[in-house]
Structure formats: C-alpha cells, structure tokens
Amino acid sequence: MPDTTRKPTVAKRLGNARLAKLPATVARPAYDRKTVTAGIVHLGLGAFSRAHLGVYTDDVLAQGATDWGVVGVNLRSPDVIDALKPQDGLYTLLCRDGGVDTLRVIGAFLDAMSASDQLDDVLTLMAKPEIRIVTITVTEKGYCHDPATGSLNEAHPMVQADLANPTRPRSLPGLIVEALRLRREAGVPPFTVLSCDNLPDNGKVARRVVTRFAELRDPDLGRFIGETVAFPSSMVDRITPATRDIDRAAVRAGLGMTDAWPVVSEPFRQWVIEDRFPTGRPAWDKVGAILTDDVRPFETMKLRCLNGAHSTLAYLSVLAGIETVADAMADPLLPKVIRHLWDDDLIPTVPPVPGTDVAAYTRALEARFRNPGIRHLTLQISSDGSQKLGPRLLAPAIERIAVGKAPRAVPLTVAAWMAFLRQGDDKGRNWLVVDPMAARLTAIAKRHADDPAALADALFAVSDIFPVAISGNAPFRKATTQHLRSLLARGVPATLSAFLVP
C-alpha cells in the first residue's frame, strides 16, 4: 500500500527568519535589516532595478547606512509583489559569468507594494518626510511621452484619465505629481526624482512629463514642481534577462530553500548618476557608482552602443529564428554586422567619455553579449521598438546625416524592424509584436505585407517614430527599402552577406 499520509516535501521559503540557514556559499545582507528604515521609494519593481539599484543600495547598507532602505512599488502587475512579500522583500541575485554562478541574497528592498491595489498606502508613504528619493525604472513607455519630442503625450489615455481624476492616479506622472502635492500640502520638502530608464537625458524627460502634467492639473502646482524638484539623470548598465523556471530551480538548489522570483544578471554593472540631490542621497559613490555633473557622454555611449546593438541583433535574430543574444553572437554574420554598426554609425557620434575608451567598451560588449550563462531572449529585447529605435539608433543616424555621412547599418535595423512588424514569415514562423503602438503598426504591416516599398513608405509616415530628418532623407529611405525588399525576398543570411560585401 502506498503511504498516503506522507506530505510531499515543499522547500521552505526565503525570508528574514531563514537568512541564518543559508549555505555559507551564498552572500547575504551584511547588516541587521531590523535597523534599516526606508529612504527611497522605487517605482517599477522589475528585474532590472533589483539587479541594479537593489545591489548598490545593499552595498551602502552594508557600509553602515541605516536610513536608505527601499520600498518597491509596481504601478500595474502585482505578480512580483506577491512573490516578494512573503519573503520580507528578500530575493536572490543569480550572477552568471559563463559557467560560473554566484548567489547573493539582497536585503535592500524592505517592502513591496502595488500602486493599483494599495494606492492610499503608496501615496501616504511617498508623502513621508523620510522618503527623500523616488527612483524609477518603468521602461520607456511608462513616461507617457511622445518618443519623437520627449514631451508629455497629453492625449495618452492614462494621462487623460489621471487629469480627470488626479487624486486616484494610475500613470507615472500622475502618481509623482499627487505625491508631491501631498508633501507640499503637509509642508514636507519634495523628494528627488531619479530616473534609471534607457532614455537620453532621462532626468529631463522625467522633469518634462511631471511638470507638464502638474501644469495641466494646476498651473501653480506646475510652477512649484518646476522650481523646487530635482530630476537628476542617470545611466544604468547591467544585462538582466527575464527569470525562467529553470533559474528558479537553480536558485532553489543553491539556497536550499525557495525564492519565488530571483533575478539573473551578468557580472558587469555600471551606474553613472548626476549628483543633484537637495535632500541627500545614499553614498552610492562609495560602492562603485560614478557621481558626476554630466551623465550625457556615458549615457550616449551606453544607449547607442549597447542598446542600439541589442535592438539590431533582436530584430534580425527574430526574423532569422535565433532565440538569444548569445546565439546571435555565435552566428557567422551577425557579429560582423554589429561591428559595422558600431564602427560606421555609432562610435563616431559618441562624445569623449571620461576615463573610457569607447571602442574598447564595444569590444567588451561583444564579450558580454557572448556570455553563455545569460539567456537573453531576442524577442524580449524586440519589444517596444516604437520607443527604442529613436534614442538608440535614429538619433545617431540623424547626427551622421547632419555631417554629410550616410548611415550604413541603421537602415538595415530599421528594415528588420519593419519586417518584424509582419509578425511572421513565409516559412510559417510567427511571433508577437509587443509595443504600445502595436495595433497601429501591425495593421500597417498587414496591409502592405507583400509590398516592401509600400510598407516602408507607410511606416516612414508614422511621425511619432520617424522625425523628418529620417523620413525626409532619400538615401536613408532608399537603403532601408532595399534591405526590406531583400529581407522579405531572400531572408536574413543572404541580406547580411550582401550587406557585408565591402
């Protein structure tokens, strides 16, 4: 008879009470979490912030600071909240360097909250004087801005909804403005708003959308925010693929207990922050971050060279059926294409970066992209192209055009993105376009699926994405249309071979 009284063994869950039971090989908070209070509210509790802000801040806390703990807030999805709450905010960073894994439990996030389910609690917390910084990773689209101009998209449905009901905000600008209003009303100085998203001048974009939203709500509040709130810019650099169940299993084996949502990352990390914090900041500079007056050169380098190459690899790879960035780097042609992208189109547009050789940065990127421990899905990176193409690739292309040079590889990426919008190929493979403009873009792609010239024309006419400096440039259009024709008729390898012929 089988023994039916025995319950299946369920691995115990990570949490404060079990920190002491972790194996010696697993790093853990080197401080007493009970003594730490919150000084930061972080909006956008994705993997990226947990592999980045969480780690730097954990290091600061380990150096003895006690008033800079972080409370993570998600604007929409409650999943990560449900995972972290029972773990007292603890999670594991699984750092993968080729075949070598290291595990570290991070303690910097003291709590996790959902703005949609607990709006009152979130606003009360954001209005407290001890919260002196609000950090943000909500991805490009979370700013509700027009990617071509960087201004608030006033017609955005969430902006409209928040203007109609400003004390119950759902958008990023709406939430920050309501929290700042509550602080003003209570005589509490404003917090500093620190954007960590992949946007050029991300502090300026944050400032523009927040002050404009406030102005539309109440001109006096708009003026107050414009005059008193600091919005420093920052550049963050760490490759963090989405967590898979197989990663959860590896973490469970390493910890001897369950972590419902660990984070996977590469070893490399960089954070460059504009040093403008009127109400103080953690000593991030003591734990490896660069605090500076001017983030822009670092950000231009990273956004164009890393993210621009990522997007290029992503669209060409999805079309070619290549699943990960590491697999793309094992392709005989794709690494040569991104070398052209860097050397011909991007590096010449990057200003001098203090202490950094930009060409060496791109060589290091090749190695980072090849990291076999990081399974970064090309489909994941393909998302939100309408928001990403501009800052990553069209801006440098415009700069090249302005000095009389024809961009060489950027038209190929744009063509690959256009072909990608068809959501499938003639071999019966299909994929999904994830993008705030997906409905409009895929409808265009469907209408002109078999006519590359008409498809390119219709997409170049989307002025939210393509500024006139691109859409009105005949050589750029011609090169893009030729690549698109080739991609649709001959496929990726033949197109890349033709591209690589000197």
Q: How far is the CB of 369 from ligand CS2 (least distance, A)?
A: 10
First-to-final CA distance of the chain: 75
Sequence-distant (6+) residues with CB within 8 A of 368 are: 239, 266, 268
Q: With binding defined as CB under 6 A, does residue 370 bind ligand CS2?
A: no
Q: Which is nearer to ligand CS2, 255 or 318 (CB)?
A: 318
Distance in Å, CB of 485 to ligand CS2, minimum:
27
Count the helix, strand and coil residues of the chain and give each as a percent rounded to the nearest 5. 50, 15, 35
Phi/psi region, residue 343 (left: phi>0; alpha: psi -120 to 50; beta: rest), is alpha
Nearer to ligand CS2, 125 or 329 (CB): 329
Q: What does 234-281 look like in DSSP terms, one character per residue?
A: EEEE---PPP-HHHHHHHHHHHTSB-SS-EEE-S--EEEEE---TT--
Q: Is 307 in the site for ligand CS2 (CB under 6 A)?
A: yes
Does 310 participate in binding ligand CS2 (rule CB under 6 A)?
A: yes
Pick 144 or 236: Cβ nearer ligand CS2 = 236
Segment contacting ligand CS2 by CB under 6 A, of 72-80, 232-240, 395-403, 455-463:
232-240
Q: Which segment (144-152, 359-367, 380-388, 442-450) binds ligand CS2 by CB under 6 A?
A: 380-388
Q: Which of residues 169-208 bind ligand CS2 (CB under 6 A)?
A: 198
Q: Return the residue of 111, 162, 201, 237 that touches ligand CS2, per CB under 6 A.
A: 237
**Residues near ligand CS2 (CB under 6 A), total:** 11
435 lines the binding site for ligand CS2 (CB under 6 A): no
Contacts with ligand CS2 in 48-67 (CB under 6 A)?
A: none
Instruction: Say how far apart CA 393 and CA 413 lie, in whole Å.
Output: 9
In the complex, the smallest distance separating the C-beta of residue 97 from ligand CS2, rounded to whole angstroms, is 16
CB of 281 or CB of 388, closer to ligand CS2: 388
Q: The tokens 């107050």 sit on which residue?
A: 224
The answer to whether the Cα torsion of 405, 409, 413, 415 is positive or negative is: positive
In the region spanning residues 446 to 465, those forming contacts with ligand CS2, defined by CB under 6 A, are none
**Inter-CA distances, 349 with 139, 153, 369, 396, 474, Å:** 24, 28, 22, 6, 21
Which residue lies nearer to ligand CS2 by CB, 363 or 490?
Answer: 363
Minimum distance, C-beta of residue 337 to ligand CS2, in the bound complex (Å): 16
Q: Which stretch binds ligand CS2 (CB under 6 A): 114-122, 124-132, 234-242, 358-366?
A: 234-242
Near ligand CS2 by CB under 6 A, which window of 85-93, 100-108, 222-230, 302-310? 302-310
Range in contact with ligand CS2 (rule: CB under 6 A) among 84-92, 160-168, 304-312, 433-441: 304-312
Q: Is 238 in the site for ligand CS2 (CB under 6 A)?
A: yes
Say which DSSP state 33 is in: G
DSSP string across 147-196: TTT-SB-TT-HHHHHHHHSTTS--SHHHHHHHHHHHHHHHTPPPPEEEE-
The counts of H helices and E strands in the chain are 23, 11
Distances (CA, A) of 383 to 206, 380, 417: 21, 6, 10
Output phi, psi for 404, to 5 deg. Answer: 80, 15
Nearest residue to ligand CS2, scored by beta-carbon proximity: 310
- What DSSP state is assigned to residue 323? -
Which residues here bind ligand CS2, judged by CB under 6 A? 198, 236-239, 306-307, 310, 380-381, 388
